[in-house]
Amino acid sequence: MLEGDRSDDLILHADRICKSFGTIPVLFSVSMGVRVGEIHALIGENGAGKSTLMKILSGYHAPTTGTIHLDGKPIELPTDGQAEKLGIVLIHQELSLAEQLTVEENIFLGREESRYGFLNRTHMRAQVRALLSELGLDVAPDSRISDLSIAQKQMVEIAKAISRNARILIMDEPTAVLTPAETAIFFRQIRSLKAQGVSIIFVSHKLDEVKEISDRVTILRDGQWISTKDTADMQPDSMAQLMVGRELSDLYPPKTEPDVDVPKVLRVRNLTAQGGVADVSFDLGKGEILGFAGLVGSGRTALFEAICGLSDVHSGTIEVNGRAGQFASVAQARDAGLTYLTKDRKEKGLLLNMGMRPNLTLLALPKFIRRHMINQRAEDEALVTAKRRFDIRARDHRVNMRDLSGGNQQKLLLAKIMESQPNIVVVDEPTRGIDVGTKQQIYHFIAALAQDGMSIILISSEMPEVIGMCHRVAVMREGRLMTVLSGDEINENEIVRYAAGLKEARADERLSA
């Protein structure tokens, strides 16, 4: 029994759960419980077993040993989402929406309202509309999921979960792709659910969020339960320390002064492109880390997808390493030394039904060809190196991508991009779902690359990340570049005001380094 827990006030309680996949153990006798009307955070390193535990608590996996108690009584949870009938709802870490269906269809999937056997569409649509406007989500109920951006999908997923009238809402990294603005809206919803007596378990790697929202925190490490504490007694630093098992030094590497005279490796002028990008101009210097901030849908992704040959450029010029760089394909961009890391790792980043090796080398495959054949030895070596460099933890190296933990998938995606040895890399939400320990490693890694002369565009919705890492920060709003901040201007206040349109676009100086 957990210290300080009286089991009678626990609504859902996992008791000494062990879980193995095949013969590979993932959880070792983990116990965790949530009280009525409590927000309980679960934190731990990538691959610690958080998602697995959440799936066990909501019936998607059966524990190998151990029991689940609901309302104090031992229970065998029904599989495949049927636990929803018991009031337990899970938002999966990997989005689970049907891409070809509409927002409304997804939100009501599996519990459609029917009258005389016919769908009551007006009623459902009205509810969806109300729900979406409550969440401040600007999409129509009949938009197809495949047309939405990843953050919008996440918000739809949240709307779906909220609409299910759960008693226990379990959320696996719901905020990973959200910007602070959306996270704030989301937290407002969470608090109001809590006020209605809903118990909430949520997983996050953003420790300040954990500090802000949760009542108690449970920490897992390598499948072991480490501790459960009141959030009030902890600070993000101490959480990180418990997670990683060692003291974390500074999260961000010290910033180097940008050199004013470096050559420009990327020069974009008056770029107008698919996805609402309008008249964007900026420069990127060699060895520079340029941040891109903005709200969801501000066009950052669209801008760089256009630059990297993934979507159509309507007008404007792009210069890469001094040469015209209008790329017709990703391969051309790659060969010119420019690569793009997508934030949509499931739909655009990784082949989920394949193993780590083919995923790692897919982008840079020409590099691995010897005498017209794939040099599998070189691939294996690359995988070993990548695993070490990015701390990719898989208990079984032939595991399918799908069965890797979310954070480790992200690390492999990062490794895949780096495998092509670009000299300009655009990373879109690179640390999505990555634990603090690894984040620190990745930040240092990026900084080192920049030191070595690689130029980096960092698109991120995590304000501290942008502020902590970047030499300059560009802010976008509705497809336009509002400003490029540098030096002391790089602070949260300034960025938010440009992003929200509270400050007008600055024409001056925005190109200078």
Partner 1 sequence: MSDSAHDRGVQMKLPRFDIKTMGPAIALILLCIIGYALNPAFASEGNITNLLTRSAFIGIIAVGATFVITSGGIDLSVGSMAAVIAGVMIIIMNNVVDTFGAGVTTVLIGCGCSVILGLGAGWANGFLTTKGKIEAFIVTLGTMGIYRSLVTYFADGGTLSLDFSIRGTYRPVYYDSFFGLPIPVWVFIVVAIVGWILLNRTAFGRYCMAIGSNEAVARYSAINVDRIKTWTYVIQGLCVSLATIIYVPRLGSASSSTGVLWELEAIAAVIIGGTVLKGGYGRIGGTILGALILTTIGNILNFTDLISNYLNGTMQGLIIIVAVWLQRGDWGRARRAKT
Ligand X SMILES: Nc1ncnc2c1ncn2[C@@H]1O[C@H](COP(=O)(O)OP(=O)(O)OP(=O)(O)O)[C@@H](O)[C@H]1O
Q: Which of residues 31-90 bind Mg ion (CB under 5 A)?
A: 51
Question: What backbone phi and psi angles, to 5 degrees, belong to 151?
Answer: -70, -40
The site partner of 511 among partner 1, Mg ion, ligand X, none (C-beta below 5 to 8 Å per kind) is none
Other CB atoms within 10 A of residue 337 CB: 18
**Which DSSP state fits 22?**
T
Distance of closest approach, residue 45 Cβ to ligand X, in angstroms = 7
User: Residue 386 and residue 105: Cα distance in Å, rounded?
Assistant: 41
Q: Which of residues 232-251 bind partner 1 (CB under 8 A)?
A: none
If one asks whether residue 118 binds partner 1 (CB under 8 A), the answer comes out as: yes
The three-state secondary structure class of 429 is coil
Instruction: Provide the mask over 389-408, with x wherever binding to Mg ion is found by CB under 5 A and - wherever it is not.
Output: ----------------xx--
CB neighbour class for 345 (10 Å; exposed up to 12, middle 13-18, buried from 19):
buried
If one asks whether residue 163 binds partner 1 (CB under 8 A), the answer comes out as: no
CA 380 distance to own-chain centroid: 27
Q: Residue 66 or 275: which CB sits closer to ligand X?
A: 275
If one asks whether residue 24 binds partner 1 (CB under 8 A), the answer comes out as: yes
Distance of closest approach, residue 340 Cβ to Mg ion, in angstroms = 11
- Long-range CB contacts for residues 496-502, cutoff 8 Å, separation at least 24: 496/180, 496/463, 499/293, 499/294, 499/295, 499/298, 499/475, 500/181, 500/295, 501/477
If one asks whether residue 404 binds ligand X (CB under 6 A), the answer comes out as: yes
Instruction: Provide the mask over 209-248, with x wherever binding to ligand X is found by CB under 6 A and - wherever it is not.
Output: ----------------------------------------
Sign (positive or negative) of CA dihedral 125, 129, 135, 137: positive
User: Residue 476 and residue 480: Cα distance in Å, rounded?
Assistant: 6
If one asks whether residue 431 binds ligand X (CB under 6 A), the answer comes out as: no
Distance of closest approach, residue 307 Cβ to partner 1, in angstroms = 14
DSSP string, 313-376: EEEEEEEETTEE---SSHHHHHHTTEEEE-S-IIIII--TTSBHHHHHHSTTGGGGEETTEE-H
Number of chain positions touching ligand X (CB under 6 A): 38
Distance of closest approach, residue 400 Cβ to ligand X, in angstroms = 8
Distance of closest approach, residue 471 Cβ to ligand X, in angstroms = 21
State which of residues 300, 334, 432, 472 lies at the interface with ligand X (CB under 6 A).
Answer: 300
If one asks whether residue 82 binds partner 1 (CB under 8 A), the answer comes out as: yes
Distance (Å) of CA 435 to CA 27, 391, 424: 18, 11, 25
The site partner of 96 among ligand X, partner 1, Mg ion, none (C-beta below 5 to 8 Å per kind) is partner 1
Sign (positive or negative) of CA dihedral 452, 455, 460, 463: positive
User: Residue 487 and residue 414: Cα distance in Å, rounded?
Assistant: 28
Strands 264-273 and 313-320: antiparallel
State which of residues 58, 93, 154, 214 lies at the interface with Mg ion (CB under 5 A).
Answer: 93
Q: Residue 101 or 226: which CB sits closer to partner 1?
A: 101
If one asks whether residue 214 binds Mg ion (CB under 5 A), the answer comes out as: no
Distance of closest approach, residue 29 Cβ to partner 1, in angstroms = 19
Q: Residue 406 or 430: which CB sits closer to ligand X?
A: 406
Element at 162 (helix H, strand E): helix 150-162
Tell me if 215 sits within 8 A of 38, measured CB to CB.
yes
Q: Which of residues 388-417 bind partner 1 (CB under 8 A)?
A: 393-400, 402, 416
If one asks whether residue 26 binds ligand X (CB under 6 A), the answer comes out as: yes
Q: Which of residues 129-188 bind ligand X (CB under 6 A)?
A: 149, 151, 179
Place of tokens 């050559």: 263
Q: Residue 107 or 496: which CB sits closer to Mg ion?
A: 496
Distance of closest approach, residue 79 Cβ to partner 1, in angstroms = 9
User: Residue 217 and residue 44: Cα distance in Å, rounded?
Assistant: 10
User: Residue 488 and residue 466: Cα distance in Å, rounded?
Assistant: 13
If one asks whether residue 372 binds partner 1 (CB under 8 A), the answer comes out as: yes
Distance of closest approach, residue 138 Cβ to partner 1, in angstroms = 5
Instruction: Provide the mask over 441-460, with x wherever binding to partner 1 is found by CB under 8 A and - wherever it is not.
Output: --------------------
Which amino acid, 172?
A: D
Distance of closest approach, residue 112 Cβ to partner 1, in angstroms = 4
Q: Residue 143 or 224: which CB sits closer to partner 1?
A: 143
- Long-range CB contacts for residues 439-446, cutoff 8 Å, separation at least 24: 439/205, 439/251, 440/248, 440/249, 440/250, 440/251, 441/390, 441/391, 442/390, 442/411, 442/414, 443/251, 443/252, 443/253, 443/468, 443/469, 444/253, 445/389, 445/390, 446/289
Tell me if 109 sits within 8 A of 80, measured CB to CB.
no
User: Residue 422 and residue 216: Cα distance in Å, rounded?
Assistant: 43
Q: Residue 199 or 301: which CB sits closer to ligand X?
A: 301
If one asks whether residue 408 binds ligand X (CB under 6 A), the answer comes out as: yes
The site partner of 499 among partner 1, ligand X, Mg ion, none (C-beta below 5 to 8 Å per kind) is none
Distance of closest approach, residue 176 Cβ to Mg ion, in angstroms = 10
State which of residues 10, 14, 32, 49 lies at the interface with ligand X (CB under 6 A).
Answer: 49
Q: Which stretch binds partner 1 (CB under 8 A): 27-35, 238-246, 339-347, 480-488?
A: 339-347
Q: Which stretch binds partner 1 (CB under 8 A): 106-114, 421-429, 432-440, 445-453?
A: 106-114
User: Residue 461 and residue 296: Cα distance in Å, rounded?
Assistant: 8
Which residues would be at the binding site for ligand X (CB under 6 A)?
21, 26, 44, 46-52, 93, 149, 151, 179, 275-276, 294, 296-302, 305, 311, 394-395, 399, 403-408, 433, 435, 461
